[in-house]
Amino acid sequence: MLQAAGIIGVLASRQVKGSQDFFLAGRSLPLYISTAALFATWFGSETVLRAPAKIAEEGLLGAIDDPFGAALCLMLLGLFYARPLYRMALLTFGDFYRVRYGRRTEVLASLLMIPSYFGWIAAQMVALGIILNVVLEIPTPAAILAASRVEVFYTFLGGMWAVSLTDFVQTLVIIAGLLFAFHELAPAQGISAFIAELPADTLRFTPEPRLRDILLYLTAWITIGLGSIPGQDVFQRLMSSRSARVAVWSALLA
């Protein structure tokens, strides 16, 4: 898979003719690739590993922030923000702050956004390292290092073109893998019988009517649901769509 990603990066580099091609794939991604790019970014290796573990330990309430809060973010972007942002024809989200509030705000906001991605990216790398360790028996630190090098390599070569194409392949792998796992692990007696054997409150989706629980519940929804709306990663993928309509529908479909 890592070799395939490197090959995709090399092939995608042929599409890069300028900064808009590198940062936004020439604003030409069709609906299916734009949707896959948003999906793979929001629901990648960290979500696939973390969410099931949190649900197994705490029930659905343990995974409100991710994936449910992340899904809320995409819905809000598609319904309210994708179209007006796309029409502004910006290159980065920092440009939005410059247009609306001036150069000083742009620089400050950009400097604050950079460290905010360290933890997010680290989570993806650790999750991918664990997967490679389980599947290929590569030591996790070495797997993390190898995966990060490949990702930096293909991104450096092909920019958003490389990222979008690898995300499309990743989306297919994630969905096919989950369907295969479901088929292999589904109980013979049926899903309803399996659900009936779950511990009480596993599928509970609302908190206890206590102030502390309600506040923690709302916090889980808005951390990603609202906090990631002004994010460079999701902005970049929306702006890479070939039209405002594609940007809207790719967010909703993802």
Task: Express each pLDDT in 116-145 by its tens digit.
Answer: 888 888 888 888 888 889 888 889 999 999
Sign of torsion over alpha carbons 143, 236, 234, 42: negative
* pLDDT of 103 higher than 80: yes
Residue 4 has pLDDT above 70, yes or no: no
Q: What is the pLDDT of residues 13-26, one digit of tens each?
A: 788 888 888 999 99
The distance from CA 155 to its chain's CA centroid, rounded to whole angstroms, is 16
Show Cβ contacts of residue 243 under 8 Å, excluding neighbours closer than 6 positions.
86
Q: Are 100 and 106 within 8 A, CB to CB? A: no
Query: Does residue 245 carry a pLDDT above 90?
Result: yes
Token digits for 215?
Answer: 């506040």
Give CA–CA dist 218/209, Å, rounded: 12
Task: Report which of 183, 157, 198 is spatially closest to residue 58, judged by C-alpha positions.
Answer: 198
Mean pLDDT confidence for 134-159: 88
Domain spans, the chain: 2-253
Share of the chain above pLDDT 90, in %: 52
Q: By C-alpha distance, which of 53, 126, 42 is closest to 78?
A: 42
Give 50 or 60, the one with higher predicted confidence: 60
Rounded CA-CA distance 254/249 in Å is: 8
In whole angstroms, what is the distance from residue 139 CA to residue 60 CA?
A: 32
Find the farthest-apart pair of alpha carbons in the chain and give their distance in angstroms, rounded: 62
Per-residue pLDDT at 5 exceeds 80: no
Q: How far apart are CA 151 and CA 163, in angstroms?
A: 9
Q: Are 252 and 35 in contact (CB under 8 A)?
A: no
Residue 149 pLDDT greater than 70, yes or no: yes
pLDDT surpassing 80 at residue 7: no
What's the pLDDT score for residue 125? 87
Rounded distance between C-alpha atoms, residue 44 and residue 113, angstroms: 21
pLDDT at 174: 87
pLDDT at position 194 over 70? yes
pLDDT value at position 2? 59
Q: Cβ neighbours of residue 128 under 8 Å, at least 6 residues apart?
A: 45, 143, 144, 147
pLDDT averaged over every residue in the chain: 89
The band of 237, judged by pLDDT with boundaries at 50, 70 and 90, is very high
For 187, phi then psi, to 5°, come to -65, 145
Cα–Cα dist 171/180, whole Å = 14
pLDDT of 14 reads 80
Q: Give Cα 63 distance to the centre of its chain.
A: 15
Q: What is the DSSP letter of 29?
A: B
| C-alpha Rg value of the chain to the nearest Å | 20
What pLDDT, on a 0 to 100 scale, did the predictor assign at position 206? 94
pLDDT at position 199: 87
- pLDDT level of residue 72 (50, 70, 90 thresholds): very high
pLDDT tens, 174-183? 899 889 988 8
Q: How many CA atoms lie within 13 A of 1 on its CB side?
A: 19
